[in-house]
Amino acid sequence: MRTSRTDLSWRRAPAGADPGRFRSVGGLAVAAWALALVALPVAPSRALDANVRTPVQVPVADKSYRSAKDALRAGMREYNAGDKQGAARALEYAAGQGHALALWKLGRMYADGDGVPHDDLKAFEFFSRIADASTDDGPDPQNSAVLGSAFTALGTYFLEGIKGTYVRPNPERAYDMFNYAASYYGDPNAQYNLARLYLDGTGVEADPRQAARWFNLAAEKGHHPAQALLGDMLVNGLGGIPIQRVRGLMWLSLAREGAESRKDDWIVALYEKNWAAASEDDRAEAQTQLQTVGSIRKRR
């Protein structure tokens, strides 16, 4: 019998924003929801270990649908029209058929309290069903964003635990989830979170060079918190990594440009601190590199 990926005995895959917080959802996951009209394979749901967790009780939708994809499309229409309760019912039908995107969207809705009562345990269970149904045959291009996001969300739950439930804080399992999503699916949020574990020595031995490596991979994908922390490491040579002030200032500038509202105030503060301490020559060279990066992106 295949072991559940979220069971504590599952082994690690090979290793390949307030900065104190970890992120579980990003651009790839949002893009996956936008791609819901694309036909995704229906993955059979696998029973979870009853000794470890209580299976999600999925209500039966009050409508009949021709297929899981039909229910998913209906759920999208109702969600976009503002009928989130109707969307949840349609998505529950598709989720009951094991549809990965429906499971993911329901997980996000329960995690965020978006149209349904906030319930982290239900979210954990939905994400677990996605993870348990995945295979090691190679990332499926259609499902990779959803799978990567689900493993990343599970990593966050394992890292912090869910109060009052069987999901206890377990940094080593968080490492497993983030490492798998980062290495196997290239999820930028997972790469950022994995870098944070290496930087802080949480669930794994501290390794600033590995942290910088994973921050760089996420930064290249436009992950602004990763850009900010990578920039700070390069400017100051944190953890003994080679100092690269100009490149670090460039990353900090990119992060500053992408900072969103008050939740990213720490990015602005980190940028301003390093920018004020930099020489005029380093600032000018960083601006030149920033313009070059912007030109390359526009041509893509």
Q: What pLDDT, in 10s, does the model give residues 250-270?
A: 999 999 999 988 899 999 999
Q: Is pLDDT of 208 > 60? A: yes
CA-nearest of 155, 200, 213 to 10 is 155
Torsion angle (degrees, nearest 10) of CA 215, 100, 123, 112: 70
Mean pLDDT value across residues 163-174: 97
Rounded to the nearest 5°, which phi and psi values hold at 34?
Answer: -65, -20
The reported pLDDT for the residue numbered 10 is 43
Torsional class of 88: left (φ above 0), alpha (ψ -120 to 50), beta (otherwise): alpha
- CA 46 vs CA 5, 89, 97, 126, 198: distances in Å: 11, 21, 11, 11, 32
Instruction: Give me the sign of the Cα torsion angle 20, 217, 185, 14.
Output: negative
Buried/exposed code over 44-63 (b: 16+ C-beta within 10 A; e: otherwise):
ebbebeeeebeebebeebee
What pTM was computed for the model? 0.81
- Calculate the average pLDDT of the chain: 82
Cβ pair 224, 215 in contact under 8 A: no
Nearest of 105, 85, 108, 80 to residue 95 by alpha carbon:
105
**What does the pLDDT look like over 71-122, one tens digit per residue?**
999 999 999 999 999 999 999 999 999 999 999 999 999 999 999 999 999 9
265-276 confidence digits (pLDDT tens) = 999 999 999 999
Which pLDDT does position 297 carry in this prediction? Answer: 57
Please give the Cα distance from 71 to 68 (Å, whole number).
Answer: 5
Classify 115 in phi/psi space as left (phi over 0), alpha (psi -120 to 50) or beta. left
